[in-house]
Copies of this chain bind each other. A is one copy, B any other.
Amino acid sequence: MAFEEILQITRAAKAAAREAANLRTPQKDAVLKRAAEHLIASQPRILEENQKDLGAAEAKGLSKAMLDRLTLNEKRVAEMAQGLREIVDLPDPVGQVVKGWTRPNGLRVEKVRIPLGVIAIIYESRPNVTVDAAGLCLKSGNVVVLRGGSEAIHSNRILGEILRESLQSSGVNPDLVQVVPTTDREALKVLLEQDREVDLVIPRGGEGLMKLLREISKIPVIKHDKGVCHIFVDYNADLDRAEKIVLNAKVQRPGVCNALETLLVDRKAAHAFLPRMAAELQRMGVELRGDPATRAIVPQAAAATEADWDAEYLDLILAVKVVEGLDEALAHIERHGSLHTESILTNDEAHAERFLREVNASAVLVNASTRFNDGGQLGLGAEIGISTTKLHAFGPMGLEELTTQKYVVRGDGQVRE
């Protein structure tokens, strides 16, 4: 794709940013509702295009899991439409007065939420991201530039068209949604250099994408990166509860970033806890990789290597380590954690508070599954992903996190002394 075509997209996006920022809530909600209807009505067009992607993916020999992520059907189209309707129900963050105060000289100062401007989303196979991201960016007053993966190119193009048609038929500039119609790497590089037009890049993808962004993006990036999530079972944890939580965190959906990857167990609890936990995990098909102290108690565990402590398996594999207590657990997490999600299971309140305060992660939990670090589960409504970048937004990014704040100052002639 020509350099010039990417510039056309980013310029059109930038030119539409003021209109996006100034849309009123009812206008945005009307577009979201219309897009939901239009998706349902356009299901035959969507599935036809999706078939092209699926055919190509099968010919390429993609894994069954990949094919599943790529597949659209009646139920999934309905879910995308439902996702848009749920965004209608969320409060519009734009224009919210976050706080305000009056200065001694009478100036009235307010911090007011405003859109970021133009947001580029770089993502991989799942086509529903196209619709979710566009809906969240619209409601938060942003223009979105969508650049999905090559496997889903036909699906993403048709979804983008439907969204643009929905804007147009609602009397709103269709340029609020831009779909990059190519997955060419050179085109991506050109996109990542347009820092005058694009305010933020949100990548959702693997390490290759992160490395590329780190090296070439001139635009600020909020990473939605890997999760090497830990649970620490403290000396006096309730072991029945711990068993349920560890099982949930590892097994309920192992392929996601907030799933458990390493279990840390206080030595004082290890003999009572590890045999029953290991039996339960193995019954669910989980492969265990333990340190020597774990293997002394659970001989069926394989030997963990140094690499296991940094691994994001995204699979039915669990690293297990026996630690001497809270300090060693904190040190292990500091060294191997990925700033994502960390949980302590304990009945020692001082330990719980110290863990919550000292652990550096976007979400820290006590006596709950790591799987709760999710916008929907934490009560933000929809989310665009989970940021592991500490700047701007750390953790699930919902509508508020897609905005920034400006100072609005009302005076009656004040000058500075």
Using a CB–CB cutoff of 8 Å, the interface residues on chain A facing chain B are 18, 21-22, 95, 101, 103, 107, 109, 114, 116-117, 195, 199-200, 214-215, 218, 220-222, 238, 241, 244-245, 247-249, 252, 334, 352, 356-358, 360-369, 371-373, 377-379, 389-392, 394-396, 404-416
The interface residues of chain B lying within 8 Å CB-to-CB of A200 are 391
Q: A410 with B367: in contact, given A379-B103, A390-B199, A415-B245 (CB under 8 Å)?
A: yes
The interface residues of chain B lying within 8 Å CB-to-CB of A405 are 394-395
Q: How far is the CA of A404 from the CA of B117 in the complex (A)?
A: 21
- 30 A-B pairs with C-beta separation under 8 A: A22-B358, A101-B379, A103-B377, A103-B378, A107-B378, A109-B379, A114-B360, A117-B390, A200-B391, A215-B218, A244-B413, A244-B415, A248-B415, A249-B415, A360-B406, A362-B407, A364-B406, A364-B409, A366-B409, A366-B410, A367-B410, A369-B415, A369-B416, A371-B415, A372-B409, A378-B409, A391-B391, A391-B404, A392-B392, A392-B404
B395 adjacent to A406 (CB under 8 Å): yes
Indicate the member of A244, A363, A392 with the most B CB atoms within 10 Å: A392
B410 adjacent to A18 (CB under 8 Å): no
Contact of A416 among B334, B372, B396 (CB under 8 A): B372
The interface residues of chain B lying within 8 Å CB-to-CB of A215 are 218
User: Which secondary structure dominates where chain A touches chain B?
Assistant: mixed
Q: A378 with B407: in contact, given A367-B413, A368-B107 (CB under 8 Å)?
A: yes
The interface residues of chain B lying within 8 Å CB-to-CB of A396 are 407
Q: How far is the CA of A165 from the CA of B218 in the complex (A)?
A: 39
The interface residues of chain B lying within 8 Å CB-to-CB of A414 are 245, 367-369, 372
Contact of A408 among B195, B238, B364, B411 (CB under 8 A): B364
The interface residues of chain B lying within 8 Å CB-to-CB of A416 are 248, 252, 369, 371-372, 377
CB distance from A379 to the nearest CB of B (A): 6
CB distance from A14 to the nearest CB of B (A): 10
B109 adjacent to A406 (CB under 8 Å): no
Q: How far is the CA of A179 from the CA of B411 in the complex (A)?
A: 41
CB distance from A18 to the nearest CB of B (A): 7
The interface residues of chain B lying within 8 Å CB-to-CB of A362 are 406-407
Q: How far is the CA of A199 from the CA of B116 in the complex (A)?
A: 21
Q: Determine the residue in chain B with the shortest Cβ distance to A417.
A: B252
CB distance from A372 to the nearest CB of B (A): 6
The interface residues of chain B lying within 8 Å CB-to-CB of A395 are 405-407
A18 adjacent to B394 (CB under 8 Å): no
B220 adjacent to A407 (CB under 8 Å): no
Contacts A107-B372, A248-B415, A364-B408 known; list 18 others, CB within 8 Å. A18-B334, A101-B379, A103-B379, A244-B415, A245-B413, A245-B414, A247-B415, A352-B410, A356-B408, A361-B406, A363-B409, A368-B411, A372-B414, A373-B407, A373-B409, A377-B416, A391-B391, A394-B404
A109 adjacent to B407 (CB under 8 Å): no
B363 adjacent to A406 (CB under 8 Å): yes
The interface residues of chain B lying within 8 Å CB-to-CB of A244 are 413, 415
Contact of A404 among B21, B390, B406 (CB under 8 A): B390
Indicate the member of A334, A378, A406 with the most B CB atoms within 10 Å: A406
Q: How far is the CA of A80 from the CA of B215 in the complex (A)?
A: 39
